[in-house]
């Protein structure tokens, strides 16, 4: 995958920031960037990694605001549209993963992803997931995690999809609340904008619905899928399409 450089305006639009805000953040070294003469430019891989880690660290209010803004900027038709029925199937869900460590759960999730037929290179995905975890854990408060590749490679998947795994025993995955993790949403997405939106989408569902407890209690893959789709429907039903005043990922507080 070639090393891709983005302009300041392109990154500002991608992250839902103003060029002025992004320039100030770059001057404060709050976002990875490079100077080329008088120009500020950005590595696409570095921006993707920074954005996903910043997004997962947002507090509940900031995450909800980013989620609303990403709906507005990602695709107009996203508003009040169910995304997950197209991205997850019962065959993409593993209710009884045997993994007992971070590395083994990542390998098991990739094995499920490989069976979907949408993954091009399983070895590369495992390496990307492990690299992402060394930069910062994708474990979240509440006992779930959102593993995804460290760099966004549009040629790694043929289609966007999500693998959901539940381990037989909880794993210490590096969540910020220091609690163990048992639910894992592996997000596989060749569309960079949709990728970030999906991370926010799942987080907001976890925070604002009973999805996590229902997933832990579900007896099989079909029941787990029903819990996920019901949580998304609940989120969409309670959402509003008002304009968002958030300034994007650059302001996590």
Give the pLDDT of residue 247: 42
User: Among the listed ranges 34-38, 98-102, 110-114, 224-228, which one has the minimum average pLDDT value?
Assistant: 34-38
Q: Which residues contact 57 (CB under 8 A, 6 or more apart)?
A: 176, 252
Confidence at 253, pLDDT banded by 50, 70, 90: very low
Mean pLDDT of the chain: 86
Are 53 and 209 within 8 A, CB to CB? no
Give the pLDDT of residue 131: 93
Torsion of CA 69, 74, 187, 212, to 10 degrees: 40
d(CA 109, CA 86): 19
Give the CATH fold of the 1-56 domain.
Answer: Arc Repressor Mutant, subunit A (1.10.10)
**Strand partners of residue 187:** 162
Residue 1 has pLDDT above 60, yes or no: no
Q: Average the pLDDT over 187-214 and give the result.
A: 92
Nearest to 201 by CA among 12, 19, 75, 26: 75
Task: Say how far residue 203 (Cα) sits from the centre of its chain.
Answer: 8
Give the pLDDT of residue 70: 67
Give the pLDDT of residue 232: 95
Residue 235 has pLDDT above 60, yes or no: yes
Domain spans of the chain?
1-56, 74-238
Residue 154 has pLDDT above 90, yes or no: no
Nearest to 81 by CA among 69, 73, 71: 71
Residue 77 has pLDDT above 90, yes or no: no
More confident residue, 114 or 191: 114
Most confident of 36-45, 134-143, 233-242: 134-143
32-53 pLDDT, tens digit each: 899 888 899 988 788 877 877 7
E strands in 38-150: 39-43, 93-97, 139-140, 144-145
Q: Average the pLDDT over 65-79 and give the result.
A: 60
Q: Average the pLDDT over 112-141 and give the result.
A: 95
Give the pLDDT of residue 161: 96
Residue 132 has pLDDT above 70, yes or no: yes
d(CA 213, CA 190): 30
- According to DSSP, the β-strands at 161-171 and 93-97 are parallel
Residue 54 has pLDDT above 90, yes or no: no
Confidence at 249, pLDDT banded by 50, 70, 90: low
Nearest to 183 by CA among 93, 118, 107: 93
Q: Which CATH number is 74-238 given?
A: 3.40.930.10
Token pair for 141: 């408060």
Confidence at 225, pLDDT banded by 50, 70, 90: very high
d(CA 108, CA 164): 11
Confidence at 75, pLDDT banded by 50, 70, 90: low
Give the DSSP letter string of 56-73: HT--HHHHHHHHHHHHHH
Give the pLDDT of residue 27: 87
Token pair for 102: 């971070």
Give the pLDDT of residue 3: 59
Confidence at 186, pLDDT banded by 50, 70, 90: very high
How far are the Cα atoms of 127, 173, 229, 243 from residue 72, in angstroms, in the given order? Answer: 33, 32, 22, 9
């Amino acid at each position: 995958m070639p090393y891709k450089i983005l302009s300041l305006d392109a990154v500002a639009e991608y992250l839902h920031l103003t060029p002025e805000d992004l320039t100030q953040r770059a001057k404060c070294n709050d976002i990875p960037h490079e100077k080329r003469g008088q120009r500020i430019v950005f590595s696409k891989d570095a921006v993707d990694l920074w954005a996903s880690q910043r997004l997962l660290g947002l507090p509940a209010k900031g995450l909800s605001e980013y989620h609303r803004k990403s709906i507005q900027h990602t695709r107009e038709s996203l508003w009040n549209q169910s995304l997950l029925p197209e991205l997850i199937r019962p065959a993409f869900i593993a209710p009884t993963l045997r993994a007992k460590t971070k590395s083994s759960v990542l390998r098991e999730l990739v094995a499920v992803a490989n069976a979907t037929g949408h993954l091009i290179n399983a070895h590369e995905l495992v390496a990307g997931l492990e690299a992402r975890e060394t930069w910062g854990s994708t474990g979240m408060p509440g006992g779930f995690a959102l593993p995804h590749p460290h760099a966004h490679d549009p040629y790694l998947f043929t289609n966007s999809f999500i693998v959901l795994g539940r381990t037989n025993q909880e794993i210490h995955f590096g969540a910020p609340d220091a609690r163990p993790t048992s639910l894992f949403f592996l997000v596989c997405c060749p569309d960079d904008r949709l990728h970030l939106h999906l991370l926010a989408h799942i987080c907001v569902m976890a925070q604002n619905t009973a999805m996590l407890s229902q997933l832990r209690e579900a007896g099989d893959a079909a029941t787990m899928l029903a819990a996920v789709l019901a949580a998304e429907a609940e989120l969409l039903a309670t959402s509003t399409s008002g304009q968002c005043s958030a300034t994007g990922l650059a302001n996590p507080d």
